[in-house]
Amino acid sequence: MGALADPHPSRRLRAALAAGTEPDPGTADALVARCAVEPDFFVRDMLTWALCRLPADVTVPLLIRELGSDLGQARSQALHTLSKVGDRRAWPAVSGLLHDDDDEVARAAWRAAVALVPPGDEAGLAGALARALGRGDRDVQLSLSRALVALGDTIVPVLDAATTSVDPLVCAHAEATERLHRDPDSGFTLSVEAAKRVAVGRGA
């Protein structure tokens, strides 16, 4: 556990690998704490793997507690790990972060919500996610579109409603998501100018 704070990423990576290779519930607190501050992507990914090797009864309460952290990375990494653990006990806490002010936390929450949504709640989740249409830069918008598309045909009425929005960015994002839903190989293009022309035409 001490090696998780080593200044060399390769040593931290080996420490996380060792923790997952020989899983010990006694390491859970230290692994979760390290996720909040670990700067290296590959080490964070290995930490998540190590946590997934531990019993969910041990890790899930710790990860849910981490969702209340003031650190954005702590929240986003906990969400990522919860999505991998796949325990729906985390659903209420995850669904409360869909509109977090931090874009990275919100993106992690969208992915985790799609993974953990209880059967029958997909339409409600689609409606909640649709409230974020138009948010952020292209990467954020693509993350949201992918989360929506993963919910299947339940998103169709939600997107149809969003394409009538008076906000051209919301309208454009909804239309781009519709195209992605119809043809996942089509790529993601968001034309705000086209949406503005549609909005003007509707107003006329």
138 shares its domain with 110: no
* Tally of structural domains, the chain: 2
Percentage of the chain beyond pLDDT 90 is 82
DSSP secondary structure letters along 59-98: HHHHHHHHTT-S-HHHHHHHHHHHHHHT-GGGHHHHHTTT
**Does 93 share its domain with 192?**
no
Q: What is the DSSP string of 155-171?
A: GHHHHHHHTT-SSHHHH
Looking at 67, 87, 116, which one is the last position of a domain? 116
CA distance 134 to 131: 9
- 104 with 148, same domain? no
Same domain, 93 and 158: no
For the segment 24-51, what is each residue's pLDDT rounded down to a tens digit? 999 999 999 999 999 999 999 999 999 9
* Three-state secondary-structure class, residue 106: helix
Contact call for residues 91 and 117 (beta carbons, < 8 A): yes
Query: In the listed set 116, 146, 161, which residue is the last one of a domain according to the structure?
Result: 116
CATH code at 45?
1.25.10.10
| 116-175: pLDDT as tens digits | 999 999 999 999 999 999 999 989 999 999 999 999 999 999 999 999 998 989 999 999
**Do 168 and 97 have their domain in common?**
no
**Same domain as 5, residue 85:** yes
Dist. CA 63–CA 76, nearest whole Å: 10
Q: Which domain holds residue 65?
A: 1-116
